[in-house]
């Protein structure tokens, strides 16, 4: 009889705890899908660059906003999950971490200029790594406390795409390492 009472108490406890567990999970779950409506019509200041890397002008532009279903149509599955849901590429699976050509790295979602190959370095991590963005105005940083760690997330300022994270273990002069997902980038080779 004792196991039956214990089982009934356990069931009651689970019925009582379950709604609170779901509420807590909903409170901490990333809400990237709801940002589209809140960002519609918002303007941001970025620095525009030519594909050759020339600084063109500082401009006020509208944020690029799409619904979740539109992003799914515009991006590959990997690009979608990395940029819109803050997933991470598997290390050493791409090609950009090995690129040593001169060029510009643009956002895969909105073509905003993000990084120059001149700031790229081999970090040995298997992800493209940069000392600094091409312009601080083109990215934004956000505190990320997911997975029990405190990190600084890097996002595209124009479309809020998740790019990666920035760490303070990079080379001089910045001592920063922008560890960026290849799925969030499009490389434009500089023509000679």
Q: Which member of 107, 110, 159, 179 is catalytic?
A: 179
Please give the pLDDT value at position 116.
96
Record the pTM: 0.78
Predicted local confidence at residue 71, as pLDDT: 98
Residue 166, classified by CB atoms within 10 Å of its CB into exposed (0-12), middle (13-18) or buried (19+), is buried
* pLDDT at residue 6, as a whole number: 54
Domain 31-189: assigned CATH number: 2.170.150.20
Is 179 labeled as catalytic in the residue annotation? yes
Q: Is the peptide bond before 173 cis (omega within 30 degrees of 0)?
A: yes
Closest CA to 191 of 65, 119, 104: 104
What is the model's pLDDT at position 146? 82
**Residue 107 contacts residue 61 (beta carbons within 8 Å):** no
Secondary structure E strands in the chain: 43-49, 55-62, 103-107, 113-116, 120-121, 129-130, 139-144, 151-156, 162-167, 177-180, 185-189
Per residue of the chain (192 residues), what is the pLDDT tens digit? 555 555 544 544 544 444 444 444 344 344 444 444 555 679 999 999 999 999 999 999 999 999 999 999 999 999 999 999 999 999 999 999 999 999 999 999 999 999 999 999 999 999 999 999 999 999 999 998 888 888 999 999 999 999 999 999 999 999 999 999 999 999 999 986
Are 133 and 116 spatial neighbours (Cβ–Cβ below 8 Å)?
Answer: no
- The pLDDT score that the predictor gives to residue 34 is 42
């Amino acid at each position: 009889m004792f196991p039956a009472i214990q089982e009934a108490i356990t069931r009651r406890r689970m019925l009582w705890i379950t709604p609170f567990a779901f509420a807590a999970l909903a409170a901490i779950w990333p809400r990237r899908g709801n940002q589209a409506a809140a960002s519609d019509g918002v303007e941001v200041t970025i620095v525009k660059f030519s594909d050759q890397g020339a600084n063109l002008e500082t401009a006020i532009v509208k944020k690029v906003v799409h619904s979740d279903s539109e992003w799914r149509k515009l991006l590959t599955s990997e690009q979608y999950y990395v940029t819109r849901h803050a997933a991470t590429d598997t290390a050493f699976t791409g090609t950009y971490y090995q690129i040593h050509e001169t060029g510009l790295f643009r956002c895969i979602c909105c073509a905003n200029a993000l990084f120059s190959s001149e700031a790229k370095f081999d970090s040995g991590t298997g992800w493209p790594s940069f000392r600094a963005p091409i312009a601080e105005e083109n990215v934004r940083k956000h505190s990320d406390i997911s997975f029990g760690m405190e990190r600084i997330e890097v996002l595209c300022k124009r479309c809020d795409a998740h790019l990666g994270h920035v760490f303070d273990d990079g080379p001089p002069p910045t001592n920063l390492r922008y560890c960026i997902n290849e799925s969030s980038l499009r490389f434009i080779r500089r023509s000679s």
